[in-house]
Structure 1
Amino acid sequence: MSAFTTPAGLTGAAAGLLLGVGLALVLWRLSARRIRLVDRVAPYLQERPTTSRLLQDTHVITPFPTLERIVRPVVRDVAGLLERLGSGASSIRTRLVRAGSPTTLEAFRTEQVIWATIGLAGGLLLALLIGVTRGVSLVPLVVLVALCAVGGALLRDQALTRQVQQRERRMIAEFPTIAELLALAVGAGESPLAALERVARSTRGELSAEIGTTLADMRSGVPLAQALDRMASRTALPSLARFTDGVATAVERGTPLAEVLRAQAQDVREAGHRALMEEGGRREVLMLVPVVFLMLPVTILFAVFPGLTVLAITL
């Protein structure tokens, strides 16, 4: 019998095989961890970029790319300050969408910095004028200049808010006509999608542009209900949200749409009439200010002055 066929021989052979495999693994790991000369020299021979990091950023939004890259860090710092003052990035993005503006957040921040610079220049001129004419101390003048700069940036934010309000007022004014046209097209036998396309082609305005954007979303593969939901989220108007819900429900369930559109148009007209009456009431109150404080004193003076003159002559 051979020595390798006995149990003791088999055990010894297995142990030797395991020992050899273990030594081979140890030697392989040691050779893998060895740092070669090429690895040591390679970091010192790599090509480093010679262009400044300010010039590597190719995304520019103004006609002056070099100046924009230089000023961009300052714009970011000012943007952080405006965030703390209440001009949040999410709010600005939402209002830019509602205003239908193609301006990006970075471009809007740049405009805010420009407005703040104009306010700073105006504050400096005003501070110099007050300091020369009135002799005011330095601290109030510095506070005035800072307030003018911050006021310029916040004034651009308020201008965006007014832009959103004006656009939404135009959309509300256009909505009854658009709804009536859609009701006529649907009543004539067209599908809601064909009616929307006809109205988008034959009308002009803010609401027609929103309908055109919705149709573009649907042509790109977005379902009609989802495209109408996007339209409602872009406008954030309750009447348009009801309109999009009605159109989506009519398309999904096959319910009559013409009467719903006419009812919505009538509701918007009544809401506009109520808003007009409320605005007229406020204007009427404001018209009393010049009547009471300007015209009435002059009228009393003309009525009383002749009598006072007669009394002065007789005395």
Structure 2
Amino acid sequence: MTTVPAAAIACGILLGAGLWLLLVRLPFMRPVSFVERIEPQLKAQNVESRLLMAADHNLTPFGPLERIVRPLIRDGLAKLGRFNLGSSVLARRLAQAGISKLPVHFRAEQLLWAVGGFLATVGLIALGAMAGRFSPVLAVVVAAGSAVGGFLFRDYWLGVQIRKREGRMMAEFPSLAELMALAVGAGESATGALDRVCRSARGELAKEFEKVLAETRAGKPLVEALQEFSSRTDLGPLIRFVDGIIVAVERGTPLADVLRAQAQDVRDTAKRDLMESAGKKEIAMMVPLVFGVLPLTVVFAVFPGLAALSLNL
């Protein structure tokens, strides 16, 4: 395929996409939603002038193109949301990663990653077509695979963010538990101990405690706020820590002893994890030792004898 047909195909694709965009945005192709029908009767609810409203910020550097395509993306996400059975699970995973986004916004970000991978692949395919190397079947498979891969890679990266954040929380947990135990032992209540931890510490776990404290100050019972915090994490030691606080608050048992025991439990768990990691590293070190160092040692030990024998011969 020469350069002229490849450019013609690219121009045809762009022209077709533009005509399709104009067609689907016509009034008779876009039904009026219920919100748009009742909006004129509810204008008294919002007396602010539209001229004084803050303009919407673009999420991507595409400028006007994003504003043109945004309604299509919103409609597509609304239709996909009907078949999305994991929105509650996704909201929980976003909370575990410390990302303050709605599930629909994360899905939109996934679509942007998919579109980015698709466009990058199409660009590479176009360069290959201009150079005379073009296979329609391979191009379609690679372009579709790159789009699906971009969509799934964003979900994988969310899992990586969750694991990194949970690692930081577990590293901070023993010190914060000891600080809470000292505060409770000095006469502070559970809420006061949380307040002291939030004012003294910085980190991911301190931010979670800040959320619990904010919910408590807003009128929610401390036990209920702690239970919601426990439901947002999958860390076993942290769940046991929160359950211990809940039991101590409900039954009136000494809270300082519970906190110290929980902190010691986490430190013992960290030591066991460190010993397990050291054992795995020790086994991994056997590979270069057996296949790298040991053969060289044998060569250096045997070569002088072989050289002496050859000289005597």
TM-score (norm 2): 0.68
Q: Distance between the aligned counterparts of 2:78 and 2:300, measured in 1?
A: 58
For the Cα contact (< 8 Å) 1:75–1:109, is it kept in 2? no
For 1:15-47, what per-residue CA distance to the aligned partner results, in whole angstroms no more than 9, with x for missing partners?
Answer: xxxxxxxxxxxxxxxxxxxxxxxxxxxxxxxxx
Which residue number corresponds to residue 44 of structure 1? none
CA distance in 1, matches of 2:88, 2:174: 31
| Number of positions where the alignment pairs a residue of Structure 1 with one of Structure 2 | 259
Aligned counterparts of 1:108 and 1:133: Cα–Cα separation in 2: 38
Structure 2 counterpart of 1:253: 251
Q: Do the aligned partners of residues 80 and 225 (structure 1) sit closer, same or farther apart at CA in structure 2, a change above 3 Å counting?
A: same
After TM superposition, list the pairs within 5 Å mapping 1:26-105 onto structure 2.
Answer: 62-63=58-59, 67-72=65-70, 73-74=72-73, 77=76, 88-105=86-103
Pick which of 88-97 and 282-291 moved more. Answer: 282-291
**Stretch deviating more after TM superposition (190-199 or 288-297):** 288-297
CA distance in 1, matches of 2:75, 2:295: 55
Cα separation, 1, equivalents of 2:56 and 2:192: 40
Give per-residue Cα distances to partners, 1:244-288, cap 9 Å, x unaligned.
Answer: 222122222221011111111111111112222222333334444
Q: Is this contact kept in 1: 2:248–2:258, CA < 8 A?
A: no
Which amino acid in structure 2 is aligned with residue 142 of structure 1?
V
Preserved contact between residue 61 and residue 107 of structure 1 (Cα < 8 Å): no
Q: How does 1:1-315 map to 2 (within 5 A)?
A: 62-63=58-59, 67-72=65-70, 73-74=72-73, 77=76, 88-127=86-125, 137-291=135-289
Q: Which runs of 5+ in 1 are unaligned?
A: 1-47, 50-57
Computing the radius of gyration from Cα coordinates, the structure with the larger value is 1
- 1: CA distance between counterparts of 2:216 and 2:308? 84
Displacement of 1:296 = 5.9
The range that moved more, 143-152 or 242-251, is 242-251
Q: CA RMSD in A?
A: 3.9
Change (3 A) 1:242 1:117: same
State the SS of the aligned residue for 1:235. coil
Counterpart in the other structure of 1:10: none
In terms of mean alpha carbon deviation, does 228-237 or 128-137 score higher?
A: 128-137
Change (3 A) 1:220 1:113: same
Instruction: Tell me how far 1:166 sits from its aligned partner.
Output: 0.8
Answer whether contact 1:75 1:113 (CA < 8 A) is retained.
Answer: no
User: Would the aligned equivalents of 1:60 and 1:68 in 2 still touch at CA under 8 Å?
Assistant: no
Report deviation, 1:178.
0.7
Whole-Å separation in 2 of the counterparts to 1:296 and 1:143: 47
Q: Which amino acid aligns with 1:238?
A: G
- Distance across 2 between alignment mates of 1:311 and 1:81: 79
